[in-house]
Amino acid sequence: MYNVFIMAQKQRDSWGSRLGVIMAVAGSAIGLGNFLRFPAKAAANGGGAFMIPYLVALILLGIPLMWIEWTLGRFGGGFGHGTAPGIFHSIWKKNRFIRYFGVIGIFGPIVIFSYYTFIESWTLGYSFFSISGKLHTLSDQNAMQNFLRGYQGVEHNIFFNDIKWAYAFFTVTFLVNIAVIYHGIKGGIEKLCNIAMPLLFVCGVILMLRVITLGTPDPSKPDWNIANGFGYMWNADFSKLLSAKVWLEAAGQIFFTLSVGIGVILTYASYLKKGDDVALSGLTAASTNELAEVILGGSIIIPAAFIFFGPAQIETIAKSGTFNLGFITMPLILNKLPWAELFAFAWFLLLFLAGITSSVSLAQPAIAFLEDEFDISRRRAVVIFAIVTFILCQPAIFFLKNGVVDELDFWGGTFFLVLFGLIETILFGWVLGMNSAWEEIHHGADMNIPKIYKFIIKYVTPTFLIFILGMWLFQEWLPVILMSSVPSSDKPYVLATRLGLIGFFIILAFLVKVAWRRKEGKNWFL
């Protein structure tokens, strides 16, 4: 399947070990959503009943897409392509437009990086406020809420009268990200993940064990105990299964947590060698993510909140949003414990490690595109990426209160994930062909994938994705386009964000055209 000119191409970066690539892909997947988004979604959508559509989506969407992306990435890497435009073109050379669909695989990660890095920097800031004892002085939800809003720059109050603290921690976080990606795949991303992932699990296990051993803090309320806390999280309300929203939420969580449909795994897998295993390695990376999400993420914040706030408030807490859960509810819980400063530091360090292993992965598709398609050195590519993304991060920082982050998250982190996943599945199962695709998956594989997945990947997964997109188009597209739920004061900011996204997508598509014209020895304007 690989052309003879491969040997003449420049040497691309590579992973140092099989464990390294597994840790890197797992690090990309294990992010803030594992410890904040998952428990909130599960608790608010039927508890244990949520796990039924969640597992269905994992088997029919998550695992197939994970294998698809690992395989397509390794396949495209053999042609010297590390991003979706080149990889898609390698599969369907007769269709000159397919590479433009691949633009989503560069566009999505950059859009997510432009707001994710700012949110990630909050965890670094809160780590500092925890260990310094500042958070320990906040004893109620009002104070903690005001502290967060002041820190974010949403309002000026007694805690913060400007955004300088948040901006300082954002700058440090941004520079750390750039430093890691500057050192490349092996020397930067792999080294970071080999250190960060074990440390993340250590912090997670410590916090989980502390929650499990909480007992009953208030003897007058014996029902507010850890068993009932886990019961709230895991007992099934099967009536919720009749709601299409629960199934869509579960499918969305699988996309979000496994980092499929973004383009990152495609790029990571492009640095594999032809004989490297993708079947078992991909499954191992996905399993590591699920361990972090289901076991650790499901055992910390919601059960702990139940013990201290009780069944009357827990649903409100579960539905209060990921920011409130992580930066308001959890610090209040930890403030009630001995050694509160250390446990709060462990919590926010866990979130920071989860965040940075994800954010560096979001940078790699753009870096690989510049390196592979324009023959730019990594140093120059990183400098270009840093300048462009630093500028793109500013709206998320200064217009957070105006709905800009929500808008970026919807298009970059939700809608285009599903669309991109559908395109990948069609290319893999129908254009490459299921027999050729099956052979490609198993080349160098250390396991045999059950044959039922030939049917699932070709028919079930694309049908599921079409259903998700169809449901959204049927139920939501008109209100979203018309900004029906956006306050009037925020509509100019949301509209400007949309116009900016459209313009940025056009620029990326233009760069793809220029890259291919260069390769074909033609002028870009012809």
Residue (of 346, 201, 250) closest to 40 by Cα position: 250
In a domain, 65, yes or no: yes
In a domain, 525, yes or no: no
In a domain, 498, yes or no: yes
Radius of gyration of the chain, Cα coordinates, nearest whole angstrom? 23
What CATH number corresponds to the domain at position 433? 1.20.1740
Q: Could you list the pLDDT tens digit for every one of the 526 residues in the chain?
A: 444 333 334 577 889 899 999 999 999 999 988 998 898 888 888 788 889 999 999 999 999 999 999 999 999 999 889 999 999 999 999 888 999 999 999 999 999 999 999 999 999 999 999 999 999 999 888 999 999 999 999 999 989 999 999 999 999 999 999 999 999 999 999 999 999 999 999 999 999 999 998 878 778 888 899 999 898 888 888 888 888 778 878 888 898 889 899 999 999 999 999 899 999 999 999 999 999 999 999 899 889 988 988 888 877 887 777 788 889 989 999 998 889 999 999 999 999 999 999 999 999 999 999 999 999 999 999 999 999 999 999 999 999 999 999 999 889 888 898 899 999 999 999 999 999 999 999 999 999 999 999 999 999 999 999 988 888 888 778 888 899 889 999 999 999 999 999 999 999 999 999 998 887 765 544 4
In a domain, 481, yes or no: yes
CA distances to 80, 143, 501 from 269, rounded to whole Å, are: 12, 46, 27
Alpha helices by DSSP H, listed for 259-339, are 264-269, 279-290, 301-318, 322-324, 330-334
Sort residue 221 into left (φ over 0), alpha (ψ -120 to 50) or beta.
beta
In a domain, 130, yes or no: yes
Question: In terms of residue numbers, what domain contains 444?
Answer: 4-519
| Contact in structure between 265 and 259 (CB atoms under 8 Å) | yes
In a domain, 382, yes or no: yes
Task: Please state, in angstroms and rounded to a whole number, the distance separating the CA atoms of residues 123 and 345.
Answer: 9
In a domain, 524, yes or no: no
pTM of the model: 0.92
In a domain, 460, yes or no: yes
Domains: count for the chain = 1
